[in-house]
Amino acid sequence: MNDAKIASPRLVGLGPILPKSDKSSTEAFKTGDWRTLKPEMRVKNSACKLACPIGNRIRDYLQLIREGQIKEAWKILIETNPLPAVLGRVCPHPCEEKCLRNQFDQPVGINTIEGFLGELALQKGWRPENIKQLIPRLHLRHRIAIVGAGPAGLACAYQLRRLGHWVDIFEAEKELGGMLYFGIPRYRLPKDLLRREIENNILSLEGIKVNTDTSITQPVWPLIVNDFDAVLIATGNGKSRKLKIEGEAGNHQIISGLDFLRKVNLGQEVNIGDVIIVIGGGNAAIDAGRSAKKLGCKSVSVLYRRREEDMPAFKDEIEAAKNEGIEIIPLVAPVLIEKRCDGLLRIGCVKMELREPDESGRPKPIPIAGSQYIAFAHNLITAVGEESDLSFMTGFDDDKFPLENIFVAGDVSLNGAGTVAGAIASGNRLAQEIDLYLETGERREIVCAPEKAVQFSDLNPEHFEYKYRDIKSIIGSNRPVEQKIQDEAERCFSCGVCNNCGNCWLYCPDVAVKETLEGKYEILYDYCKGCGICANECPRNAIDMEREVKQ
């Protein structure tokens, strides 16, 4: 046989055999040039973050909790919320309502985790980092006066100090917290917890001076305006609205909800009878009714002029009130109050029906002719809304502030706050506006543009496991707090961001996804053909397919 070399064979129509390579075959062929679509890893907005009035980075701190970085999670939380232990008890948690897990089994217990995280920080003695390490702007000598130490004022003081400014707080009461202290009952918010968190998270930042038991009066007001570079009014709505019906004026058996709750929270003696009627449908009305019941009142009724489902009070609190034996009577309003000789109040009531929406956008309640009836009570508690008292400000105009260095936050602002979370959000925002004004001399309202969040339809739920939450078990178990919140944080879908689950690496047919030494994943574009399987199999919509423009 002829031993001559045989020429390299050719495959018909395909040219010569490809040369040998010292690399594996998949690395030798850079097939990335074939693609027309390119996968891009994105960080998108989660629904929970956009639903939070404060804008807490919920997904981010839950991820850190899952990884066991509990303190780092707390640090992220207090960037926007300096009172997490408080909010864990009083927030209506709209974040949970929008949690996409709601459409799968049950929402993540975000509010419970927030509260546990805040209380854990107090137990461990964690404090915000020293201002010198946070903001290298200690050369600033701007001084800001904050009138009112409710949640809006405290949040603004916290953020301004973190920005390097010096803050003086003026509070008319002897205690800080505003309605957190005087308006929310102790059974919902223990006052010791409130004090500790204010001192630990806010006042621990040197440079915040507190002046309690200090009312700002008309003679003092001009001095405040002139002595400080900027002034924030955050006095809240501390004045109860009147019913404006016959028999109300001068009747000592009629108590405003705010006055009643204030006395209860201060531990003062409250003389009320066995039968109480509360007028209103907000949190103050429900808090007053439940507080009266806990004081021993035998019969407590809450009258509201719209339907029960229209009540602005937190739904959990309404249910708790009903479970305690408080009667909710909807579509009823008082029209007349008379004081009888036996000490009872004779309250004329009328039933209501709902018609076209009013200026608030809710159906307008209209009295039903001939539906009047009489109710009796020892005391009547009114909680039909609150308003601010700005009588100390001379020359104040709702449409135009008298001086450019005066700002307003919280319930005093034209848009109001409504909730504790809303007040904190307002304080945070005003801190930015004041900082901008002091740095540039420009007054500009900071408005967040509407943003889009990841939707449940964007997810791939095939890769999630059903795991129902059990908040009562979490609260009641004897396990360490860290383990409790870690277990619940594991339920988070991490919507809109890669959490290194590895699905893209597992399903890629071209081995074009690489796992790094840090356990993260990156796309090798030299080999990615743009098939889109990684995007389809990503459980949390963290990969988008974008049309690639060739250079």
Q: What pLDDT, on a 0 to 100 scale, did the predictor assign at position 449? A: 78
pLDDT in tens, 73-105: 999 999 999 999 999 999 999 999 999 999 999
Domain 22-43+498-547, CATH 3.30.200.20 — does that match? Answer: no
pLDDT in tens, 403-453: 789 999 999 887 777 899 999 999 999 999 999 999 888 888 888 778 899
pLDDT in tens, 147-189: 999 999 999 999 999 998 999 999 999 999 999 999 999 999 9
Q: What residue segments make up the domains of the chain, in order of their start? A: 22-43+498-547, 47-126+459-489, 133-238+388-440, 240-384
Virtual torsion, Cα 476, 481, 487, 488, nearest 10 deg: 70
User: Hey, do 22-43+498-547 and 133-238+388-440 end up sharing a CATH topology, with the first three levels equal?
Assistant: no
Residue 283 to residue 58: CA distance in whole angstroms: 26
CA distances (Å), origin 268, targets 35, 271, 278, 289, 472: 75, 10, 20, 17, 33
Q: Pick the more confident residue, 195 or 135.
A: 195
Average pLDDT for 517-544: 94
Q: What pLDDT, on a 0 to 100 scale, did the predictor assign at position 10? A: 38
Average pLDDT for 360-382: 94
Tokens encoding 429: 């925002």
Q: What pLDDT, on a 0 to 100 scale, did the predictor assign at position 307? A: 95
Q: What pLDDT, on a 0 to 100 scale, did the predictor assign at position 551? A: 66
Q: What pLDDT, on a 0 to 100 scale, did the predictor assign at position 131? A: 53
Q: What pLDDT, on a 0 to 100 scale, did the predictor assign at position 137? A: 53
Residue 125 to residue 481: CA distance in whole angstroms: 15
Q: Do 67 and 61 contact (CB within 8 A), yes or no?
A: no
Residue 352 to residue 345: CA distance in whole angstroms: 21
Q: Pick the more confident residue, 475 or 547.
A: 547
Q: Do 267 and 441 contact (CB within 8 A), yes or no?
A: no
Share of the chain above pLDDT 70, in %: 89
Please say if the pLDDT value at position 382 is more than 90: yes
pLDDT in tens, 266-319: 999 998 999 999 999 999 999 999 999 999 999 999 999 999 999 999 999 999
CA distances (Å), origin 520, targets 523, 527, 545: 10, 18, 20
- When pLDDT is cut at 50, 70 and 90, the band that residue 473 belongs to is low
- Strand partners of residue 300: 276
> What's 346-402 look like in SS3?
EEEEEEEEEEEECCCCCEEEEECCCCCEEEEECEEEECCCEECCCCCCCCCCCCCCC
Pick the CATH number of 133-238+388-440 from 3.40.50.1400, 3.40.50.2300, 3.30.70.3270, 3.50.50.60: 3.50.50.60
Residue 443 to residue 375: CA distance in whole angstroms: 53
Q: Are strands 230-233 and 406-408 parallel, antiparallel or unpaired?
A: parallel
pLDDT in tens, 234-259: 999 988 899 999 999 999 999 999 99
Can you tell me whether residue 255 is helix, strand or coil?
Answer: strand
Residue 254 to residue 507: CA distance in whole angstroms: 70
- Strand partners of residue 326: none
Backbone angles phi, psi at 284, to 5 degrees: -60, -40
Closest CA to 142 of 122, 166, 121: 166
Residue 60 to residue 137: CA distance in whole angstroms: 27
Domain 240-384, CATH 3.30.70.520 — does that match? Answer: no
Q: Do 152 and 238 contact (CB within 8 A), yes or no?
A: no
Average pLDDT for 41-45: 95
Can you tell me whether residue 446 is helix, strand or coil?
Answer: coil
Q: What is the pTM of this model?
A: 0.88
Q: Are strands 363-367 and 543-547 parallel, antiparallel or unpaired?
A: unpaired
Q: What pLDDT, on a 0 to 100 scale, did the predictor assign at position 6? A: 41
Residue 31 to residue 504: CA distance in whole angstroms: 18
CA distances (Å), origin 163, targets 64, 241, 432: 25, 38, 9
